[in-house]
Amino acid sequence: MTDRLVIIGAGQAGFALAAKLRALKDTRPITIVGAEDVLPYQRPPLTKKYLLGEMAFDRLLFRPEHWYPDNDVEILLATWAEQIKPDSKQVLLQDGSVLDYDTLALTTGSSPRSLPATIGGDLEGVYVARDKRDADCLADEMRPGRRVLIIGGGYIGLEAAAVARHRGLEVTVIEMADRILQRVAAKETADIMRVIHEAHDVVIREKTGLKRLLGKDGHVVGAELSDGSVIDIDFAIVGIGVAPNDQLAKDAGIEVGNGIIVDEFGRTSDPSIFAAGDCTSLPWQDGRIRLESVQNAVDQAEAVAAVIAGGNAPYDPKPWFWSDQYDVKLQIAGFNLGYDETLLRPGSREGAHSIWYFKDGVLIAVDAINDAKAYVTGKKLLESGINPDKAILADACADLKQLLS
């Protein structure tokens, strides 16, 4: 094989794509372009065990440095693409150099949404939690007794709250919606997670937005909230969602729409250009979705690698997610988009719960809170297309194995 592949983006999807090609014995030259100055690494532990000082950074690396030359994978760090030229099949880098490609893969991921400067988003001490640099800055800020405001009550915000409390900080979470997790989970899941956080002395203020951050000498010192109250803080973490990094593709004339539009094979509107991971908008049932998860980044990237290597199997997403907060593990199977009914089931041990989502009477997702049995059962049901008996689900004493028979 002499077909040169250039991969723009050195995150989970970019690395998985390159590694899968080598696992498939594909020998084409590969170049990965990564904006960070460190080798590709796992992101989920970054703002958990790494931030807590429980895991060294080198343990987060996907592979040691020698793996790349050993596998004929060139990796360019602290480098980013300025422009794609599809007609000449070239990528223009920020230093003016040019990479020629035969096949291009965009694994550019997503970026955290930031606060506008007009309400204090440019003050020192205002952070997002996305990469190693963010985690290192937060580690310096997270000292016992300090006060942090977390803006946004989604999974990002709640995970940050759990880490901050573990490190002994005073934590306030504000959520402008009616409740935490409103965009991503049912009320039952939100109610359970709220109780858990409040038991750890996190102050959660729902239906409360941010009016503006207050600064002194360029550093954040407080926040004026939408209800008129003012609180003193030492720093703030912004967790108000992410946006797909699709501008590079858009500028190159590639079709985008809440992400880079790809078909079931991961191919973009340009047949020589593929995309995978958080940056993509992929086919799902009768529409399109973006799946912001490590699992999708890996699975989609590996499916794209198989296509690039000569296969023709479409990518069939099997969504699953997880979130670790304190000693609580929330595992999610399926995608609850458009659900119209939920069923709350107590687990077999204290603190275990599962929430089952239905749409038009059909199971579409399950949230399992410290309930691995419910998660595994739900995942198997979804993958096999079996619709569970709600009477069995509603019976806390019933064995979930009955649902699979």
Do 149 and 164 touch, CB atoms closer than 8 A?
A: no
CATH code assigned to 117-238: 3.50.50.60
**Sheet containing 219-225, strands listed edge to edge, beginning at the edge strand earlier in sequence:** 210-216, 219-225, 230-232
How many angstroms separate the CA atoms of 262 and 268, rounded? 5
Give the CA distances from residue 43 to residues 134, 161, 329, 343, 360, in Å, rounded to whole numbers and listed in that order: 11, 17, 17, 32, 36
pLDDT tens readout for residues 300-315:
999 999 999 999 999 9
Domain ranges of the chain: 5-111+242-308, 117-238, 327-404
Do 276 and 297 touch, CB atoms closer than 8 A?
A: yes
The domain covering 5-111+242-308 belongs, at the CATH homologous superfamily level, to FAD/NAD(P)-binding domain (3.50.50.60)
Q: What is the pTM of this model?
A: 0.93
Given a cut of 60, is residue 12 above it in pLDDT?
yes
pLDDT tens readout for residues 69-118:
999 999 999 999 999 999 999 999 999 999 999 999 999 999 999 999 99
What integer pLDDT is reported at residue 349 of this predicted model?
A: 86
What integer pLDDT is reported at residue 29 of this predicted model?
A: 97
Burial class (CB in 10 A: 0-12, 13-18, 19+), 350: exposed
How many angstroms separate the CA atoms of 223 and 119, rounded? 10
Count CB neighbours of 23 within 10 A. 13
What integer pLDDT is reported at residue 2 of this predicted model?
A: 61
- Residue 171: both structure tokens together: 């934590």
pLDDT tens readout for residues 319-336:
999 999 999 999 999 999
Given a cut of 50, is residue 1 above it in pLDDT?
no
The domain covering 327-404 belongs, at the CATH homologous superfamily level, to FAD/NAD-linked reductase, C-terminal dimerisation domain (3.30.390.30)
Given a cut of 90, is residue 171 above it in pLDDT?
yes
Average pLDDT over residues 134-144: 95
What integer pLDDT is reported at residue 48 of this predicted model?
A: 86
What integer pLDDT is reported at residue 405 of this predicted model?
A: 78
What integer pLDDT is reported at residue 99 of this predicted model?
A: 97
Note whether 117-238 and 327-404 share their fold. no
Average pLDDT over residues 150-162: 95
pLDDT tens readout for residues 195-253:
999 999 999 999 999 999 999 999 999 999 999 999 999 999 999 999 999 999 999 99
Average pLDDT over residues 30-44: 96
- Spatial neighbors of 88 by CB under 8 A, at least 6 apart, are none
